[in-house]
Amino acid sequence: MTKTLVIAEKPSVAQDIVRALTPVAGKFDKHDDHFENEHYVVTSAVGHLVEIQAPEEFDVKRGKWSFAHLPVIPPHFDLKPVDKTKTRLNAVVKQAKRKDVTALINACDAGREGELIFRLIEQYAGGAKPLGKPVQRLWLQSMTPQAIREGFEKLRSNEQMAGLADAARSRSEADWLVGINGTRAMTAFNSQGGGFFLTTVGRVQTPTLSLVVEREEKIRKFVSRDYWEIHASFAAQAGSYPAKWFDPQWKKNSDDAELRADRVWAAHEAQAIADAARGQPASVTEESRPTTQAPGQLFDLTSLQREANGKFGFSAKTTLALAQSLYERHKALTYPRTDSRALPEDYVPVARQTFEMLATSGMAHLAPHARTALEGGYVRPSKRIFDNAKVSDHFAIIPTLQAPSGLSEAEQKLYDLVVRRFMAVFFPSAEYLVTTRISKVEQAGKAHHFKTEGKVLVKPGWLAIYGKEAAAEVPDAKEGDKGQNLVPVQPGEKPLASQVDPKALKTKPPARYSEATLLGAMESAGKQVEDESMREAMQEKGLGTPATRAATIEGLLAEKYMLREGREIIPTAKAFQLMTLLRGLGVKELSRADLTGEWEYKLAQMEKGQLSRATFMAEIAAMTERMVRQAKEYDRDTIPGDYAQLSAPCPNCGGVVKENYRRYACVGKPGAEGCGFSFGKSPAGRTFEPQEAEQLLATRKIGPLEGFRSKAGWPFTSEIVLKYDDEAHNYKLEFDFGDDKKAEESGELVEFADESLGPCPVCGAPVHEHGSNYVCSKAVPTAAQPTPSCTFKTGKVILQQPVERAQMAKLLETGKTDLLDKFVSMRTRRAFKAHLAWDKEAGKVNFEFAPSKFPPRKTPAAAAKTGAASARPVSAAAKKAAKPAAAKKAAAKTPKAATAKAPRKPAAGKAPSPQLAAVIGAEPVARPEAVKKIWAYIKAHNLQDPKDKRTIVADDKLRAVFGKDQAGMFELAGILGQHLG
């Protein structure tokens, strides 16, 4: 009997498919890597199992990155397995090649990326010739059993998916061409002066970075201007009411966006208006009109990420992970990686069933509103909600018919956000009565007008779902002249201007991007679009897709092009340097977000069959060639840009020090030439912020700073000093490792004289002071362990904040320090408060911000229910690491002698486990000796990964010891400790 192979994207989805098919297709037998019955074989990938690569003759290794090898535009792409998942790939390919498997079903996620994952596996399985088995597509919007069964009844043909498959491959190949060539060309350009200065660029990430840099440039160039508002209080018979002066003749000036009808630009003029109006009676005119406010549209992924970032401070990555969990694991939400905000027109009955589920679900805070909607007949056809023209491959994110249980706090918050929005779109609009009152004061033949606006909530409509039942809770209530209930003024009454005062204010620069506003800018490729319908039209020309935007932002943060400070996203000096380079070379496609947005639009056209793959790839190849040519043929000494002049003088001659593209250099005193003093802007691959360069010049010392990389690619921390060189008769920049240098460079053994501060959070060994750091005793060479096996190290001074011994001891015991208040940001020069906390996931000490620093916005009614938001955690893993029990457990593993001041005695030999004995022999052995023996075995059998020598690829014997296919070199000591009795 022939069978059909179903390939899902993840194991959990494969299990869901099996559970859904069992009632209709029969019981499945479970095997190691697949499920099988009479009709189907069900297996899964684990994300991408195969990636594209250039053919061998086109591949250029890292050490040979030069213009001579560029551009790399291969005629076709080969495939290579993803190293970490080779075993899974082989298992899937084995099933695909079975003779009794005569057809395939692509059950990967319903989107461009899911299509690519399957297509590359299918191509790899075929080898030199196509696999030749017919393919159908399972397209799931929901993961409930019923939805899966319906999906199998409506499988799509391979021809229907051809456009999506072309777009998926084109996106992947375009990213490779631009990323590889761009990164190599910019790295080659930046490394011309020597060294290796890795400069990464990407088809989507670099234009996204340009948005952040352009915003920061506007902020830096912004010149604040003084202006005045005139605020008044009028006394009527029924009470007083506030008002603000305005000019009724004012007209908007497009040349100066700061001008407003209620702003005065001279102090004396504002004071004159206030003095003239004070104590005078006013004639009052009023106009009242009803107005409505419609609810927001249903969520797509980007709008959900923006809302969750604004309300809860969730990063885009976190929101996507939570939504994916609610879709995949809990079956509570529909497919989240969508760019649609509408539902299919035949979905009205499903929406009604969803309300019925919510009404009877037991969710007390949601059920009453669901019952109100059902009793009021709110669920009915509406083009605003149900519109086939606005539904692409996916529809909006809504709750499924399955009520969830066992949600985490964060999952519950996101689920509630989606459910409330889903219900709100069916509810009536909120109704207000808006009253505009003009109080006119006439004095000495001149009229002064003051405006007051009152807004009264008449019918809450959809706002009731959010607990907004009263006028005091209207969304746009503002102090002064808007949102308040107005006391009545009788006909003919002339209230007195009892108080009139000018208020001095300053214009403000544009706000920095938060993750929410950056996602919005990516969605519209940087075009400032306020109108929601216009923003929808721009979505097709956005940067990336809803599914990839979070990863793009995280990639820029990981590459240190941007950093998060609270909820603000700030570009680093490295980002400014890259944008200066791209602009100077004329690579507009990567330095202008709107141009790159066109590519995403073309990919969307390809999905619909309106653009050929060949045409798109020819454009990408031409752009790649032009980008490399611009860098290769650039023949000037420096790149033009907006460079800084430092205020600190040259240490050698007292002249002026100016920035250029590559260096900070002395240009001499007025009328004289420079003395030759200069230092590179990016020593060891870390770019100085202008403030850091300023401090280095002023004090001739800065640090310790993190983020440097050695020639071998290892990260390190160091102080930077300017030292006088007798031979050159000038100052030069040097790294200063302090007391650490002795051990780290010479290999000299370290003896600790201080008492241990506590157990290392990585391996449990004692932590001591050493030079300018706190280090694990196993992170430096000691008599007991000449070869370091741990990585724990953290500075005694972090961003100008001294970290006392008592605070480090507290961090090691509880997971975090007290709230420290002397940190100073190198980028903004602003002081900030934070805890230092152990981040197990990142493997280092990180910041954890106090709850009060960036409180989430919340509705008045919700405030009482949810309480104050907790601090933005370092990570979920860091919370676990902070538990005292974990620290006590680590301390229990620490030998008592390890905390004594006297030199440690050699550790006694311990019997190895049978698994370890098979590698190093059965003789009792101390852990340092066991490490040496296992290293001898690793080197003898050539088990180090050739691409990353720090990774050991296990053979059968080591797999029994490691419990997995590979291990990092720094894990060895910990693993062996578990095998020594």
**Interatomic CA distance for residues 896 and 905, integer angstroms:** 12
- 634 is annotated as an active-site residue: no
State the catalytic residue, choosing from 124, 227, 241, 335.
335
**Interatomic CA distance for residues 258 and 247, integer angstroms:** 15
The DSSP symbol for 352 reads: H
**Interatomic CA distance for residues 597 and 204, integer angstroms:** 9
Residue 216's closest CA among 509, 592, 448?
A: 509
- Could you tell me which residues come within 8 angstroms of residue 211 by beta carbon, excluding any fewer than 6 positions away? 513, 518, 521, 522, 526, 593
Task: Supply the Cα-derived Rg of the chain in whole angstroms.
Answer: 33
Residue 174's closest CA among 613, 567, 620?
A: 620
Residue 544's closest CA among 315, 308, 203, 213?
A: 203
Is the distance from CB of 91 to CB of 655 less than 8 angstroms?
no
- Tokens 């009709």 found at: 39
Is the distance from CB of 440 to CB of 285 less than 8 angstroms?
yes
> Which of 931-948 are b and which e, b meaning 16 or more Cβ less than 10 Å from the residue's Cβ?
bebbeebbeeeebbeeee
Q: Residue 34 burial by CB count (10 A; 0-12/13-18/19+): exposed, middle or buried?
A: buried
The dihedrals phi and psi of 800, each to the nearest 5 degrees, come to 70, 0
Is the distance from CB of 114 to CB of 7 less than 8 angstroms?
no
**Interatomic CA distance for residues 710 and 191, integer angstroms:** 14
Instruction: Please calculate the CA angle 468-471-475 and round it to the nearest 5 degrees.
Output: 60
Instruction: Please calculate the CA angle 138-423-546 and round it to the nearest 5 degrees.
Output: 45
Q: Residue 290 burial by CB count (10 A; 0-12/13-18/19+): exposed, middle or buried?
A: exposed
**Interatomic CA distance for residues 373 and 427, integer angstroms:** 7
In the numeric block, which tokens belong to residue 119? Answer: 């297509």
SS3 call for 135: strand
SS3 call for 770: strand
Cis ω before 704 (30° cut-off from 0): yes
3-class SS letters over 648-684: CCCCCCCCEEEECCCEEEEEECCCCCCCCCEEECCHH
Bridge-partner residues for 816, per DSSP?
837
**Interatomic CA distance for residues 473 and 467, integer angstroms:** 9
Which amino acid is it at 37?
N
- Tokens 């905390």 found at: 899
In the numeric block, which tokens belong to residue 227? Answer: 């202006």
DSSP per residue, 142-202: --SHHHHHHHHHTPEETTTTHHHHHHHHHHHHHHHHHHHHHHHHHHHHHTTTSS-------
| Packed helices 162-190 and 573-585: angle between N→C axes, nearest 10 degrees | 100
User: Helical H runs in 430-489?
Assistant: none
Strand 430-443 vs strand 3-8: parallel, antiparallel, or unpaired? unpaired
Bridge-partner residues for 350, per DSSP?
none
**Interatomic CA distance for residues 495 and 501, integer angstroms:** 17
**Interatomic CA distance for residues 219 and 568, integer angstroms:** 13
Which amino acid is it at 600?
E
Is the distance from CB of 487 to CB of 222 less than 8 angstroms?
no
For the annotated catalytic residues, the residue numbers are 335
